[in-house]
Amino acid sequence: MMPEAGWDRLWTGVQLATMADRSLGVIRDGAIASAGGRIAWMGKEADLSPRQRTSAAEVIPCGGAWMTPGFIDCHTHIVFGGDRSGDFRRRLHGQSYADIARAGGGIMSTVRATRRASSEELTRRAAARGRELAGWGVTTIEVKSGYGLDLETELRMLDVAAALPRHIPSGTSPTLLAAHAIPPEYAGRRGDYLRLILEEILPAALQQGHATAIDAFCEDIAFTPAEARAILEAGIAAGLHGRLHADQLSDLDGGALAAATGARSADHLEYLSGDGVRAMAAAGVCAVLLPGAAYTLRVEHSPPVQALRRAGVTMAVATDANPGSSPITNVGMILNLACIRFGLTPEEALLGFTSAAASVLGLEDDRGTLEPGKRADLALWGVEDPLQLCYWMGSSPLRSLIKDGVPWEPADRRLGALGTTRRPSTHSPEKTARGPE
C-alpha cells in the first residue's frame, strides 16, 4: 500500500463494484484513492483515518454513486472510412452478409473507402466513435486494422489506432487484422496475399511496434482454417497475442484452432461445437461474445454459453463496433443483448466488459478490477444498482470517467455529450465530425 501522503485524489461516498474474484465484489459505503495514476487505497470509508482523508490533494464526494473499473472494449473495428448504410438496406431486403460480401460490398466497400481516406480523416472519425465509447465508461479500446489489406493502409490504420489516446480519454490496444478479407487485387491469388501478410505486412507491423495482437477472420467468405493457422502461428511466434474471428457464420472448428495455436481468445462463436468448448477450456482460451453482430446480422445461433460456463471458459463481451456487422458504440445496448440474446447473467456481462476483457488483452495485472496497484481507470455511474447498466435501455448514466487517476466530466469536450444521442451541431471540429457515417 502506498503512503497516504502521496494520494492525488480520494473519492468518498462511493459504492464500489470491484469485479475482483469473478464477482461484482461489492464494497458499500466505500472510498478509493489514487496516486501516480494507480489505485493507492480502497475500502470502507469508515476505515479511513482523519489523517488519510486530509492528506489527499483532492477529495471528491460522490454522493453514494456506484463505481466500476473503467470498461474495456476488447474487440472493435472503429478505424474505418465510409459508410455501410447501403448494406443495411440490402440486408433489410433479404440479402445476407455473405451474399453482400461475395458481390464486392461488405468489408471490401469499407476497404475502398478506408484506402481513400487520409490519416487525419480516419483519426477524426475514429476519435468521434472512441468518445462515444468513453461516454459509456470505456477507458481501454482494442482497435483492429483490417480495412486496408495492403501494406501502407494496414500500417496507417495501426498508426491511427495507436495515436487515438491523444484525442480521447481512453487507451487503445491495436491489433493487426490484415487477414480480414482477400483484397480484390489478389482475387484468384490467395497464396500471394497470404505471403504478403507473412513476409511484408507482419514484419513491418512488428517493426512499427504498435500492434500487440494478431487476428484473422476464419470463415468461408474470408480465410480457411489452414490460412488462419499460418497467420496466427507467425504472429504468436513473434510475440503478439493471438485472436481469432471464429465460428461466427459456420462451424469451421475455429475454437479448437484458436486453442491449438495458443491464441488468447476466440471471438463470436455462434457456431462453436462441444469439442470447441472443451479445447478452449483445456487451453485457457477466452471466449469473446459479440451480441451486437449476432443481432445486426440476425444470426439465429447463439454461442453455447451454458457449456462455456460449465467448462469454466472466461467470457468477455465487446461491442465489435464496425460499419457492417455491429454499428454500435452503445455499451448499455451490448450488455443488454448479452443478457437477453445470449443468456449471460448481468454479473457475467459486467465481468465480460471488465476483468474478462482485461485477460483477453493480456492486461489482467494492470486493469479490469478495482484493486490496489491497478491502474486508476474508473467509471462513476448515476445508478442505484450496477445491474441497471444491463437492464435499463436509456442514455448513458455515466457521471464521470477517470483515466489514469484523472477525472473527465461528461461535459468535457474530449468526452463529448453522454451516450449516443446526436448532438445539435456545434462549432468544435471534433464535434462536427460526428455526422452520419
Residues at the interface with ligand NIG (CB under 6 A): 77, 106-107, 110, 217, 245, 248, 293, 320, 322-326
Smallest distance from the beta carbon of 319 to ligand NIG, in angstroms? 10
Smallest distance from the beta carbon of 286 to ligand NIG, in angstroms? 16
Which entry of Fe ion, ligand NIG, none binds 107, CB below 5 to 8 A by partner kind?
ligand NIG
Smallest distance from the beta carbon of 426 to ligand NIG, in angstroms? 29
Which entry of Fe ion, ligand NIG, none binds 265, CB below 5 to 8 A by partner kind?
none
Judge contact between 268 and 245, C-beta under 8 A: yes
Which entry of Fe ion, ligand NIG, none binds 106, CB below 5 to 8 A by partner kind?
ligand NIG
Spatial distance between the Cα atoms of 392 and 371, rounded to a whole number of angstroms: 28
Smallest distance from the beta carbon of 13 to Fe ion, in angstroms? 40
* Residue 228: count of CB within 10 angstroms of its CB: 27
Task: Report the residue number, 287 or 417, with the smaller CB distance to ligand NIG.
Answer: 287
DSSP structure class, residue 417: S
Angle at 66 between CA 61 and CA 67, to 5 degrees: 85
Which entry of ligand NIG, Fe ion, none binds 325, CB below 5 to 8 A by partner kind?
ligand NIG
Smallest distance from the beta carbon of 270 to Fe ion, in angstroms? 13
Q: Nearest Cα to 133, choosing from 365, 325, 329, 324? A: 329
Task: Report the residue number, 132 or 320, with the smaller CB distance to Fe ion.
Answer: 320
Smallest distance from the beta carbon of 141 to Fe ion, in angstroms? 13
Specify burial of residue 305 (Cβ count, 10 A radius: 0-12, 13-18, 19+): buried
Judge contact between 408 and 130, C-beta under 8 A: no
Which entry of ligand NIG, Fe ion, none binds 434, CB below 5 to 8 A by partner kind?
none
* Residue 297: count of CB within 10 angstroms of its CB: 18
Which H or E run includes 280?
helix 274-283
Which entry of ligand NIG, Fe ion, none binds 386, CB below 5 to 8 A by partner kind?
none
Phi, psi of 428 (to 5 degrees): -75, 130
Task: Report the residue number, 104 or 209, with the smaller CB distance to ligand NIG.
Answer: 104
Task: Report the residue number, 66 or 295, with the smaller CB distance to ligand NIG.
Answer: 295
Spatial distance between the Cα atoms of 331 and 352, rounded to a whole number of angstroms: 12
Task: Report the residue number, 69 or 254, with the smaller CB distance to ligand NIG.
Answer: 254
Give me the residue label for grid cell 460499419.
Answer: 323
Task: Report the residue number, 70 or 105, with the smaller CB distance to ligand NIG.
Answer: 105
Task: Report the residue number, 270 or 320, with the smaller CB distance to Fe ion.
Answer: 320
Helices and strands (H and E) in the chain: how many: 18, 16
Smallest distance from the beta carbon of 25 to ligand NIG, in angstroms? 31
- Parallel/antiparallel/unpaired status of strands 378-381 and 66-69: antiparallel
Count, residues near Fe ion per rule CB under 5 A = 1
Smallest distance from the beta carbon of 87 to ligand NIG, in angstroms? 8
DSSP structure class, residue 164: G
Q: Nearest Cα to 164, choosing from 146, 139, 147? A: 139
Smallest distance from the beta carbon of 166 to ligand NIG, in angstroms? 25
Which entry of Fe ion, ligand NIG, none binds 323, CB below 5 to 8 A by partner kind?
ligand NIG
Specify burial of residue 95 (Cβ count, 10 A radius: 0-12, 13-18, 19+): middle
Task: Report the residue number, 154 or 320, with the smaller CB distance to Fe ion.
Answer: 320
| Options 9-17, 320-328, 377-385, 400-408: segment touching Fe ion (CB under 5 A) | 320-328
Spatial distance between the Cα atoms of 317 and 357, rounded to a whole number of angstroms: 7
| Options 13-21, 156-164, 295-303, 318-326: segment touching Fe ion (CB under 5 A) | 318-326
Smallest distance from the beta carbon of 390 to Fe ion, in angstroms? 22
| Options 96-104, 178-186, 315-323, 383-391: segment touching Fe ion (CB under 5 A) | 315-323
Task: Report the residue number, 302 or 388, with the smaller CB distance to ligand NIG.
Answer: 302
Beta strands across the sheet bearing 315-317:
71-73, 138-144, 171-179, 213-216, 241-246, 265-268, 286-289, 315-317
> Residue with the closest Cβ to ligand NIG?
324
Beta strands, E only, 58-113: 58-61, 66-69, 71-73
Spatial distance between the Cα atoms of 125 and 113, rounded to a whole number of angstroms: 13
> Residue with the closest Cβ to Fe ion?
320
**Which triple of cell numbers denotes residue 74?**
476488447
Task: Report the residue number, 225 or 323, with the smaller CB distance to ligand NIG.
Answer: 323
Which residues of this chain interact with Fe ion, rule CB under 5 A? 320
